[in-house]
């Protein structure tokens, strides 16, 4: 069985810990690899490698660092198909979604290529009698990224390209559910000319995370994941004197006005709700339909489009499927539980995805697109992030009521409005 390794000081190193996690292909339910959870000592080795590499990397001029980013950009483009297949195989999202994710990450790398200009300081002459003022931008040191399963390429590439381009070193702790892409990115960075130790990958769980959050050599931490874990990350990292950004859960809403272009709105809602099986930080969870007539028309249109949605494995399908499976059997059961909850609490289940099955992939972690109508703010499916292909329609009397409801919800991240 193939074992996904750590990447420490330029070398692939298989963990020696006793905790081993299976990696599954979500479309088939079959184990395809395994990953060993790193020990405290192995995590400390990655931090040490980044710490030791920092002085030399920080002394590189921004121009030299940008050249590495330019080469990395070219390698990403050359290897796009191979990387997208890794994502689709371990995460389950369809191939076009995987390519889209990589493209978004590539945009950050392109931005990082401009670091010689972006990292310019400022100078103000004669700010006081005989006093000039100037500012410098200097790297911090070892930075850490702790990233989620749903975007194994894009979210890490939100973090490390800018960190590396500005002269920091980096330790990435990817999700143990789909860790192979992180290792592939590390190898491409090495091929691009990044010195050993500047970028490291630690495969692990909470034991590794706690080391990364508390080690005094780590200067900054970025995290994306669930809200309870985000709170833990922020509290622990900040208590140990580290800069920290911790991004948690979401419940994205949109308002559908009666005068909206219903063709355009329905198409947009379908993609936002069911793309990547709803496993997106910006997935649309709730539609606030203004007026019963608006809600009735929307649900009728959605039912027809859902019936035509191609759901199945993400790879090697012609025509390509539009929605793949969920990440794991555990998460599938969690999403099914939310659907049960919505039905038992009185929502109208217009489309039920609980018994969905794909021929030839009966063991895959599929949940069909699900549509609820007449959802109310007291229901669990409205209050909590589901992270699956479940869309709730809430009926409101007017625009003001819709805005008030959105503002009362404890979560962001985004809102939209459809009108003429």
- Looking up residue 299, the CATH number of its domain turns out to be 3.40.309.10
Mean pLDDT of 203-217: 98
Same domain, 98 and 174: yes
Q: What is the mean pLDDT of the chain?
A: 97
Tell whether the model's pLDDT for residue 263 goes beyond 90: yes
My answer on whether 159 and 207 are in the same domain is yes
How far is residue 269 from each of residues 88, 253, 287, 291, 382, measured CA to CA in Å?
23, 10, 8, 17, 17
Note whether 256 and 330 are same-domain residues.
Answer: yes
Does 420 score more than 90 pLDDT?
Answer: no
Q: In this structure, are residues 109 and 72 in contact, taking their beta carbons and an 8 Å threshold?
A: yes
Q: Tell me, yes or no, whether 27 and 93 share the same domain.
A: yes
Q: Are residues 197 and 228 located together in one domain of the fold?
A: yes
Split into its structural domains, the chain has a count of 2
Q: How far from 311 is each of 27, 48, 92, 267, 414, CA to CA, in Å?
A: 11, 45, 11, 16, 26
Question: Is 281 tagged catalytic?
Answer: yes
**pLDDT (mean) for 249-253:** 97
Q: In terms of domains, do 242 and 257 share one? A: no
**Tens of pLDDT, residues 77-98:** 999 999 999 999 999 999 999 9
Same domain, 259 and 229: no
143 and 183 belong to one structural domain? yes
Q: What is the arithmetic mean of pLDDT over 189-200?
A: 99
Boundary residue ending a domain (186, 219, 247): 247
Task: Assess whether pLDDT exceeds 90 at residue 224.
Answer: yes
pLDDT tens for 347-372 read 999 999 999 999 999 999 999 999 99
Over the stretch 107-146, which tens digit does the pLDDT of each residue have?
999 999 999 999 988 999 999 999 999 998 999 999 999 9
DSSP H stretches of helix in 288-398: 292-308, 329-344, 380-383
The answer to whether 121 touches 135, Cβ cutoff 8 Å, is: yes
Residue % of the chain over a pLDDT of 90: 97
- For residue 318, what pLDDT band results from cuts at 50, 70 and 90? confident
The burial class, CB within 10 Å (0-12 / 13-18 / 19+), for 293 is exposed
Q: Which residue, 247, 271, 289, sits at the end of a domain?
A: 247
Quote the CA–CA distance of 322 and 80 in Å, as a whole number.
19
* 16 and 93 inside one domain: yes
Q: Whole domain around residue 274: which residue ranges? A: 252-418
User: What was the pLDDT predicted at 410?
Assistant: 94
Handedness of CA 158, 159, 164, 165 (dihedral sign): positive
Does one domain contain both 240 and 259? no
Specify the CATH number for the domain of residue 43.
Answer: 3.40.605.10
pTM recorded for the entire structure: 0.96
Out of 143, 244, 254, 281, pick the active-site residue.
Answer: 281
Phi, psi of 243 (to 5 degrees): -65, 140
User: 3-state DSSP: the chain helix, strand, coil percent, rounded to 5?
Assistant: 45, 20, 35
Residues 38-78 have pLDDT tens digits of 999 999 999 999 999 999 999 999 999 999 999 999 999 99
| pLDDT tens digits, 265-285 | 999 999 999 999 999 999 999
| Among candidate residues 218, 247, 276, the one where a domain is terminated | 247
Tokens of 32: 């395809």
Tell me how far apart the alpha carbons of residues 153 and 381 are, in angstroms, rounded to a whole number: 29
* 207 and 293 both lie in a single domain: no
176 in a domain, yes or no? yes
């Amino acid at each position: 069985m193939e074992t996904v390794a750590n990447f420490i000081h330029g070398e692939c190193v298989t963990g020696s810990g006793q905790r081993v996690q299976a990696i599954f292909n979500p479309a088939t339910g079959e184990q395809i690899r395994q990953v060993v959870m790193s020990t405290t000592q192995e995590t400390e080795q990655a931090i040490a490698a980044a710490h030791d590499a920092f002085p030399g990397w920080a002394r590189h001029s921004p121009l030299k660092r940008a050249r590495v980013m330019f080469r990395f950009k070219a390698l990403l483009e050359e290897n796009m198909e191979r990387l997208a297949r890794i994502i689709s195989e371990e995460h389950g999202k369809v191939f076009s979604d995987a390519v889209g994710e990589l493209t978004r990450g590539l945009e950050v790398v392109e931005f990082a290529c401009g670091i010689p200009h972006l990292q310019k300081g400022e100078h103000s002459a004669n700010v006081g009698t005989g006093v000039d003022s100037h500012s410098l931008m200097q790297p911090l040191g070892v930075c850490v990224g702790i990233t989620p399963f749903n975007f194994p390429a894009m979210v890490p590439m939100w973090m490390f390209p800018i960190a590396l381009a500005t002269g920091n070193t980096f330790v990435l702790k990817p999700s143990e559910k789909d860790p192979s892409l992180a290792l592939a990115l590390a190898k491409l960075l090495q091929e691009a000319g990044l010195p050993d130790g500047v970028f490291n990958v630690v495969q692990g769980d909470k034991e590794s995370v706690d080391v990364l959050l508390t080690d005094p050599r780590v200067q900054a931490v970025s995290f994306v994941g669930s809200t309870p874990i985000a709170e833990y990350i922020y509290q622990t990292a900040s208590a140990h004197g580290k800069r920290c950004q911790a991004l948690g859960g979401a419940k994205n809403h949109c308002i559908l006005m009666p005068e909206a272009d219903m063709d355009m709105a329905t198409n947009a809602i379908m993609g936002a709700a069911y793309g990547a099986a709803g496993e997106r930080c910006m997935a649309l969870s709730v539609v606030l339909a203004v007026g019963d007539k608006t809600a009735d028309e929307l649900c009728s249109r959605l039912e027809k489009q859902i019936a035509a949605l191609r759901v199945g494995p993400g790879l090697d399908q012609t025509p390509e499927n539009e929605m793949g499976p969920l990440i794991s059997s555990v998460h599938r059961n969690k999403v099914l539980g939310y659907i049960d909850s919505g039905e038992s609490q009185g929502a109208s289940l217009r489309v039920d995805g609980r018994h969905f099955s794909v021929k030839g992939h009966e063991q895959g972690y599929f949940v069909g697109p699900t549509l609820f109508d007449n959802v109310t703010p007291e229901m669990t499916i409205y209050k909590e992030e589901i992270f699956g292909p479940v869309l709730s329609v809430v009926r409101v009397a007017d625009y003001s009521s819709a805005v008030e409801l959105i503002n009362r919800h404890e979560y962001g991240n985004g809102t939209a409005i459809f009108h003429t």
